[in-house]
Structure 1
Amino acid sequence: MSETCTTTLRLKNLGINTYKDAILYIRKDCNVCAAEGFEVQTRVRVNFKGRSLITTVQIIESDLLTYEEASLSTYAWSYLQAQEGEDLFIFHHKQLASLGFVRSKLYGHTLSQNEINEIIKDISKSRFSDINLSMFLAGCVGGRLNGEEIFYLTNAMLQSGSRLHWGSQVVVDKHCVGGLPGNRTTLIVIPIVAAFGLMIPKTSSRAITSPAGTADVMEVFAPVELDLKSMRRVVEKENGCIIWGGTVSLSPVDDVLISIERIMDLDSEGQMVASVLSKKIAAGSTNILIDIPLGPTAKVRSISMANLVKAHMEAISRKFGIETKVILSDGTQPIGQGIGPALEARDVLAVLSCDKNAPQDLREKALLLAGEIIEFSPTIQKGEGVKIAHHILESGQALQKFQNICLVQGGFSEIPKAHHTHEITAVSSGIVSNIDNRRLARLAKLTGAPHVKVAGLEILVKLDHFVERHQPLIILHANSLEQINYALSYYEIESDMIKITEMISR
């Protein structure tokens, strides 16, 4: 069916943020609803001064809009470069062929390269609703993507954004698949590797549903929203950078898929592989280190899934001519003490400063990862990397390099502190027998992290530690008592997120 204009409505900006979901807000008694019978969730195309976008209809049942007005979500408003008071044109749109491919996948059929390309193209042009995206992700979960499909998906996602070229024979990178609070090794690894002399341009993500992403933590120290020209300037001067990947448009489809995947709480190993590799290859990497934390409340929960992800990572990388090394690490409990941007930044700076009170698990893991990356250098023998990493850290070179990177990115700021803290103590004596990563991350988020940089929590115990009754387990950090109380109300329900097994005397 051809697209024909049905009506126009005058734009009013309501400022409703739906992340990257394109929403059209109209009243039920407006002309377009009366003429077309549009209901909630109807998909329509809108046009503003030559820019067009497929949107999902949502109905306003109040006086926020008149029957002559329409509004758009902030994402759609920005995409169309809309202007208040101007006319918005509303169109019917033809059914997307790619949705037929998605339905086919849900029924267990294998997708061709062309079909995957069409799906990713339509996602990149914001033609899929959240429901459509959920259908696609559901079709990919549970081992439903074979190796060939993962390769096609990786390539399609790679082609959807920009691709960087550095002119260096070896360009290294690291990535952790996630799910482990406080695991902020990147901010330690990058300066160690850059100080050694390897080029490591790191583009990182912000948190979507977690209490901190790498970019959120780095932003405590320095600006991370650099354009491509500024990114190149930092890398050329310091061998590395730590910036938010959203400003350089590397695999933008991945950001959309991740936002839905995390809400659905699905672990699609095929999507995970395509997500990681498309961004790393787009960033110009020739050698990649992948960290897979393995644990019952981490993102990867079984050894079988970890080995499957590892096999796919290595096989798909080879098809792109990339060397990828995958390591499995302990994901049974958080790394470091802080969970939340400023608190994780404090841990990072303590490690880089060789503070005797720095969290040793964060230090040792960062040194292990840095050593593995240093061994990508053709001049370094296996087993030498960790020793070199230790020397660079302990000599102060890593701290100096980190400060230099921050300064070139725009400044080196002091770590702020929260206005309020609150201790949560043990109700009984015993051994710490379980720590739930997911619920602990949720608790940190309820204090205001990551949007409030100082918010989050400190975890003061580790697995197998003996604790006394009334001993502090967690310190909550927030800028308001209301936020502290809000987090505490969750902890009262989920108080076994740190499980203490009482010792039975004989």
Structure 2
Amino acid sequence: MGSHHRDKQPADGPAHALRMRRMGIDTYLEPVIYMRRDCHICRSEGFEAHSRVEVWRGNKHIVATLNVVDAPLLQVDEAGLSEAAWRSLGGRDGDHIKVFHPAPVQSFSHVRAKIYGSPITSEGASEIVQDIVDGRYSDIEMAAFIATCAGNRMDIAETASITRAMIGAGKRLQWNVHPVVDKHCVGGLPANRTTLIVVPIVAACGMTIPKTSSRAITSPAGSADTMETLAPVDLDIAQIRRVVEREQGCIAWGGGVNLSPADDILIRVERPLGLDSDGQLVASVLSKKYAAGSTHVLIDIPVGPTAKVRSAEAAQSLGERLTTVGQSLGITLRTIITDGAQPVGRGIGPALEAYDVLAVLQNQPGAPDDLRQRALLLAGHVLELGGKAPQGEGRTMAAAVLTSGAAWTKFQSICEAQGGMRVPPVARFTHVVQARHDGRVVAIDNRRLARIAKLAGAPKAHAAGVVFHAPLGTMLVAGQPMLTIHADSPGELAYARTYADAQEDLVQVQEH
């Protein structure tokens, strides 16, 4: 390895010791340490705000970012720890910790070389990713790595190297069955909650589909958030294994099982930058699919003017990169390009999307047909890809399983196996946004609709979000309900209302 990793504590004296204190400050995944400016270590070591420091408790250690405290929050001999730092180190208030300058991060030389035009080698990729997982990269260094790989500056070989490095840095699920199938959507489309329908259909057909899903990062709900309103999703590897062996499928949160820890760390820095390059996306998706033990994967790429992928050319390029890197990992991968012009279903937000899913699974009259048709299309492709259905007959098989009630029965069994099914919550406050003009709906801004749902409190408030009443082609009359905002507090309802009222082109209506 090129970086100077320390496996044991450097030589020290009492001069490096402080008492640890839990500050109860949530810094998400970033470990932060708080020290007084006049503490003996800050003075003797020359530590300043935002210094990187190595912190040891016994044989456990982390690299944390220093925040310097001037107010009397801490004793001179105390160091405060953020929740992320506290979780990593363990221990109790008052335990002794030692603080040092960290060893230099030599893998950053590979990032520097990439900035100046040299490709990242497989060895370089391994060193960079391992240092990121070990917490040795500051946010600034990670931002530099992400930025130099953005704008499609990573070729296929580099993408494959980063993907393999991300796989190597995490845990891996292995199954004693073949094939193991999976599906993934690259995102950018509100309420595209097909996973909760595809998984029970495919599992009811006897195929193994261990689905690990993400929570929302920039959207009003991820599949894990929606599933969490129906059943527990925070499962460890042993629990996932037990559920899948019993029911052939699961819908669990992926962040709890450390399958691709580098990805979870990089996403935290990627999102505020708004940089979502094809190379990073491919490494993110495929590292998690490979780590989950998937052998056959279907990738849904929605394309639309306000979706993540905005043109057929961009979708084709992303699809080719996914397929090539997937093949290099031994994954059989198929991509499907779908319509990303408008939300799928009616609800946007965890519980509202869950009610749409339940309506489809229970074959309720009035269930959103677009969600049903999209789920059947994807489930059919998965069944064909895994060899369960002949080419061209997967959708018919999927429809039979859904219509007969077998998928609904299987979904209930999966929920029970994950810890028990529950009823999604209902928001306490609602507000109807009405159409301002007569006419036909000709365009919808997915991003702004998602923003209204987030301002209303989604995904943190599970019941919050938007119910959308005006899909493309709807003939509206002025005053007709266009969407209903759901919120758990009057303040959040007011935020969402104010934003919605200010949006002229949220829904484009062509007047008669």
Settle same-fold status: TM greater than 0.5: yes
1:178 and 2:220 aligned:
no
Q: 1:453 to 1:379 in 2, by over 3 A?
A: closer
Report matched runs for 1:198-277 at 5 Å: 198-277=207-286
Q: Which runs of 4+ in 1 moved over 4 A?
A: 1-6
Gaps of 5+ in 2: none
- Once the 2 structures are TM-superposed, how far is the Cα of residue 164 of structure 1 from its aligned partner? 1.3
What is the letter of the counterpart of residue 494 of structure 2? N
Segment of structure 1 superposing worse, 374-383 or 77-86: 374-383
Q: Counterpart of 1:112?
A: 121
Q: Counterpart of 2:73?
A: 64
What is the letter of the counterpart of residue 509 of structure 2? T
Q: 1:42 to 1:241 in 2, by over 3 A?
A: same
- Mapped contact 2:197–2:357 kept (Cα < 8 A): yes
- Mapped contact 1:43–1:55 kept (Cα < 8 A): yes
**Identity across aligned pairs (percent)?**
48
- Mapped contact 2:181–2:386 kept (Cα < 8 A): no
Distance (whole Å) between structure 1 residues aligned to residue 46 and residue 86 of structure 2: 24
Q: 1:72 to 1:490 in 2, by over 3 A?
A: farther
Q: 2:328 aligns with which of 308, 319, 327?
A: 319
1:499 and 2:507 aligned:
yes
Distance (whole Å) between structure 2 residues aligned to residue 464 and residue 109 of structure 1: 50
Distance (whole Å) between structure 2 residues aligned to residue 419 and residue 374 of structure 1: 41
Q: Counterpart of 1:351?
A: 360
Report matched runs for 1:2-401 at 5 Å: 5=12, 7-378=16-387, 380-401=389-410
SS state of the match for residue 418, structure 1?
A: coil
- Mapped contact 2:437–2:511 kept (Cα < 8 A): no
- Once the 2 structures are TM-superposed, how far is the Cα of residue 179 of structure 1 from its aligned partner? 1.2
Distance (whole Å) between structure 2 residues aligned to residue 499 and residue 468 of structure 1: 13
- Mapped contact 1:150–1:271 kept (Cα < 8 A): yes
SS state of the match for residue 375, structure 1?
A: helix
What is the letter of the counterpart of residue 440 of structure 2? I
- Mapped contact 1:160–1:251 kept (Cα < 8 A): yes
Distance (whole Å) between structure 2 residues aligned to residue 502 and residue 243 of structure 1: 43
Partner deviation per Cα, 1:172-231 (whole Å, 9 max, x = no partner): 000011111100000000000011111111111111232111111111111111222221
Q: 1:141 to 1:453 in 2, by over 3 A?
A: same
Distance (whole Å) between structure 1 residues aligned to residue 115 and residue 397 of structure 2: 49
Distance (whole Å) between structure 2 residues aligned to residue 9 and residue 478 of structure 1: 45
SS state of the match for residue 97, structure 1?
A: coil
Q: Counterpart of 1:406?
A: 415
- Mapped contact 1:21–1:129 kept (Cα < 8 A): no
Segment of structure 1 superposing worse, 82-91 or 41-50: 82-91
Segment of structure 1 superposing worse, 308-317 or 420-429: 420-429
SS state of the match for residue 336, structure 1?
A: coil
Distance (whole Å) between structure 2 residues aligned to residue 292 and residue 260 of structure 1: 23
SS state of the match for residue 215, structure 2?
A: coil
Segment of structure 1 superposing worse, 16-25 or 466-475: 466-475
Distance (whole Å) between structure 2 residues aligned to residue 401 and residue 162 of structure 1: 28
Q: Counterpart of 1:464?
A: 473
What is the letter of the counterpart of residue 340 of structure 2? G
Distance (whole Å) between structure 2 residues aligned to residue 430 and residue 4 of structure 1: 76
Distance (whole Å) between structure 1 residues aligned to residue 441 and residue 39 of structure 2: 60
Q: Counterpart of 2:426?
A: 417
SS state of the match for residue 25, structure 1?
A: strand
Distance (whole Å) between structure 1 residues aligned to residue 429 and residue 197 of structure 2: 28
SS state of the match for residue 12, structure 1?
A: strand
Distance (whole Å) between structure 2 residues aligned to residue 422 and residue 242 of structure 1: 32
Partner deviation per Cα, 1:435-492 (whole Å, 9 max, x = no partner): 2222221221122211211111111111232322122122111111111112223334
What is the letter of the counterpart of residue 101 of structure 2? H
- Mapped contact 2:194–2:375 kept (Cα < 8 A): yes
- Once the 2 structures are TM-superposed, how far is the Cα of residue 379 of structure 1 from its aligned partner? 5.0
- Mapped contact 1:440–1:497 kept (Cα < 8 A): no
What is the letter of the counterpart of residue 200 of structure 2? P
Distance (whole Å) between structure 1 residues aligned to residue 494 and residue 163 of structure 2: 44
RMSD, aligned CA: 1.7
TM-score (normalizing by structure 2):
0.95
TM-score (normalizing by structure 1):
0.96
What is the letter of the counterpart of residue 412 of structure 1? M
- Mapped contact 2:20–2:79 kept (Cα < 8 A): yes
Distance (whole Å) between structure 1 residues aligned to residue 342 and residue 114 of structure 2: 36
- Once the 2 structures are TM-superposed, how far is the Cα of residue 91 of structure 1 from its aligned partner? 0.2
SS state of the match for residue 358, structure 2?
A: helix
Matched positions, count: 503
What is the letter of the counterpart of residue 199 of structure 1? T
Distance (whole Å) between structure 2 residues aligned to residue 192 and residue 12 of structure 1: 50
SS state of the match for residue 57, structure 1?
A: strand
Partner deviation per Cα, 1:403-427 (whole Å, 9 max, x = no partner): 1111111111122211111111122
Distance (whole Å) between structure 2 residues aligned to residue 268 and residue 354 of structure 1: 39
Q: Counterpart of 2:451?
A: 442
SS state of the match for residue 482, structure 2?
A: strand
Partner deviation per Cα, 1:329-352 (whole Å, 9 max, x = no partner): 111211111111100000000000
- Mapped contact 2:442–2:510 kept (Cα < 8 A): no
Segment of structure 1 superposing worse, 97-106 or 192-201: 97-106
